[in-house]
Amino acid sequence: MFNFLMKILVADPIAEEGLEILRNYAQVDIKLKLKPEELKAIIGNYDALIVRSQTQVPAEIIEAGEKLKVIGRAGVGVDNIDVAAATKKGIVVVNAPTANTVSAAEYTIALMLALSRNIPKANSQLKSGRWQRKELVGTELRNKTLGIIGLGNVGSEVAKRAQAFEMCVIAHDPFVSTNYARKLKVDLVPLDQLLEQSDFITLHVPLTATTKGLIGAEELAKVKPTARIINCARGGLVDEEALVKAIEDEKIAGAAFDVFSTEPVTDSSRFKSDKIVVTPHLGASTIEAQANVAKDIAEQVLTVLRGEHPRYAVNTP
- Please tell me the distance from the alpha carbon of residue 188 to that of residue 104, in angstroms, as a whole number: 22
State the helix-helix crossing angle for 101-116 and 119-127, rounded to 10 degrees.
60
pLDDT attached to residue 77: 87
What is the rounded average pLDDT for all residues in the chain? 96
Please give the average per-residue pLDDT across 281-303, as a whole number. 96
Residues in contact with 144: Cβ distance below 8 Å, sequence separation at least 6, in sequence order:
167, 168, 199, 200
% residues pLDDT > 90 (the chain): 94
The answer to whether 7-99+287-305 and 101-278 have equal CATH topology is yes
| CA 254 vs CA 80, 107, 130, 222: distances in Å | 29, 17, 22, 15
Q: For 7-99+287-305, which CATH superfamily applies? A: NAD(P)-binding Rossmann-like Domain (3.40.50.720)
Local confidence band at 4 (pLDDT 50, 70, 90 cut-offs): low
Local confidence band at 63 (pLDDT 50, 70, 90 cut-offs): very high
Q: Specify the pairing of strand 200-203 against strand 70-73.
A: unpaired
Please name which of 198, 204, 191, 136 lies closest in space to residue 167, comparing C-alpha atoms.
Answer: 198
pLDDT digits (tens, 9 = 90+) for 208-242: 999 999 999 999 999 999 999 999 999 999 999 99
pLDDT attached to residue 5: 84
For the cut 90, the answer to whether the pLDDT of residue 288 exceeds it is yes
For the cut 90, the answer to whether the pLDDT of residue 10 exceeds it is yes
- Please tell me the distance from the alpha carbon of residue 115 to that of residue 117, in angstroms, as a whole number: 6
Residues in contact with 134: Cβ distance below 8 Å, sequence separation at least 6, in sequence order:
none
pLDDT attached to residue 196: 98
pLDDT digits (tens, 9 = 90+) for 112-158: 999 999 999 999 999 999 999 999 999 999 999 999 999 999 999 99
Domain boundaries, the chain: 7-99+287-305, 101-278
Please give the average per-residue pLDDT across 189-207, as a whole number. 97
Q: For 101-278, which CATH superfamily applies? A: NAD(P)-binding Rossmann-like Domain (3.40.50.720)
Q: In what order do the strands lie in the sheet with 27-30?
A: 27-30, 7-10, 48-51, 70-73, 92-95
pLDDT digits (tens, 9 = 90+) for 228-283: 999 999 999 999 999 999 999 999 999 999 999 988 899 998 999 999 999 999 99
Please give the average per-residue pLDDT across 75-95, as a whole number. 95
Active centre residues (catalytic) = 234, 263, 281
| CA 249 vs CA 58, 246, 252, 262, 277: distances in Å | 39, 5, 8, 25, 17
Single pTM value for the model: 0.87
pLDDT attached to residue 3: 59
pLDDT digits (tens, 9 = 90+) for 13-41: 999 999 999 999 999 999 999 999 999 99
Q: Which residues pair with 39 in a beta bridge?
A: none
Exposure class string for 281-305: b at 16+ Cβ within 10 A, else e: bebbebeebbbbbbbbbbbbbbbbb
Local confidence band at 2 (pLDDT 50, 70, 90 cut-offs): low
